[in-house]
Structure 1
């Protein structure tokens, strides 16, 4: 099975899969455009990929790679939307492609405004308006502000919370700058910036949800939620929950869009309970926390996709757990090394330089 370039959690996923694969049923392949990527150090076979290929060219390279290496399961991170469009071509080679949804739903999840619209009446949503111009902002502000104590703004397309700001009518710009509260912006300053924008983006003006935020890690199979763990932050720790309204909300999204594999649903409490923030149609960066529940999410996602295990065998996750992060590091090469990792690098050549102070299960 092959994981191509993806988020940093790929390293953790490969380690967890290897821990669960005690019978050594799987050979783990990993590729990346950066030779120092940690995932390359833990795979059985590691090889390079070019950072310069466009999506069409990259899909052809992936097809060739699956053909030459006899890949049974391909879990794409990079260009997963383009790869999912060609799933039938991979299946002709005998390669199953594990992606969260159809190409249409994957594209929909990248546009928060369209994704929200697809879920009207399905799950609780924050009240929002789509704006691009100053006139649209002023109209939406006049409509929403009387109904909500605070409003916020965020891009319709974006990840990791980039571009999110709380709008403040009594904003002290100096105190915000010195005090480090970069999430708050004055309404007048935002209006001025929007009026001066040469290429305004599509933005969401929405009610600010003041309650608890949850991150729900989900294992799904063809629209059915098989297992889920909701993570709630408590300072430097996280509390694991295995039931509640946030998980019910995630189950409704999984069913509506027939999601598959590992996905992550972000919620935040408002009036009446949790409301949807966004869907990450991939495993989350905090997936390690969820695995402390007793469910090895990466392992079960690939085991179900390959058909070597059945969903009825997935253990029930344990909740009411307080989980703390630990620090781990790994040697991935030498600082003088340049260029791409040699093609066909196998585990024996990486284990000599691989060293960890803490394995991912130490997060418990």
Structure 2
């Protein structure tokens, strides 16, 4: 989209909460920065975005977000290095995916400059909120939802685009034990599984609660038709290491095109790690666990980067993964986070420095 935005209005908060925050003890996504970016779609076009104090949103009870679920979002992070430089990681990929998600839910697509310049302006205003502690970052949540009113089942005529930020510590700590799902499905062919739509995540909560009640932390989603193919790990893409080959499923209508996933594949190939992007069956994983060739499983996503899996349950049987000293998961996570935090060279051109 060709719309260009130059000067973004900034309305600064008269007070700050930053002195109340313990940056050495940050929970994930529980503390919010002083400002947010807001942009409205009305009269058939996106209006000028502006930065305003972080505040509640007032909506009419008939706002269509409440009734028909037109809502999409992204997850990103900003990082500071030791010299106070601020960096983003592949932000244009988040912008592109936000518009892909929007299009699928009949939400008007956003101009690139509104997203990128709006984000940079917001980060400049709240740059003191970006943590420097090891493992911490400023989590960024861009989202769009239907704000237009009416009970008629149709796309809204008004929308809000908002970016909020939250200084956060690590998303997960330690390894997780997962249950391979055999009843419920995350998504289906022709559906919205490839989009970061809010409803996708709402539909995951109940099956995950059932797994937690059985002693697992997460579920492994399988295909909706046969439940024979492994697809995602909770809200993350999934990787399986059999012997020394890294395997992940291909993206489709059902699987999110994860930015961390794409980065892992590219790094692994560059480092000489054999990578296969193909369908992987539950039976193949179970057999590999039985014969000892299953070395690792891990989830991959923005929030946790990489979340190692310690074992999985299937057909009332638990399978433990071996504890290895040097894992693909730890190597890949360190490689990505070192690029993100400017601790290493970036041969891929993924790191974006904010001027």
- TM-score clears 0.5: no
| Structure 1 or 2: more strand by fraction | 2
TM (norm. structure 1) is: 0.26
Flag the structure with larger Rg: 1
TM (norm. structure 2) is: 0.26
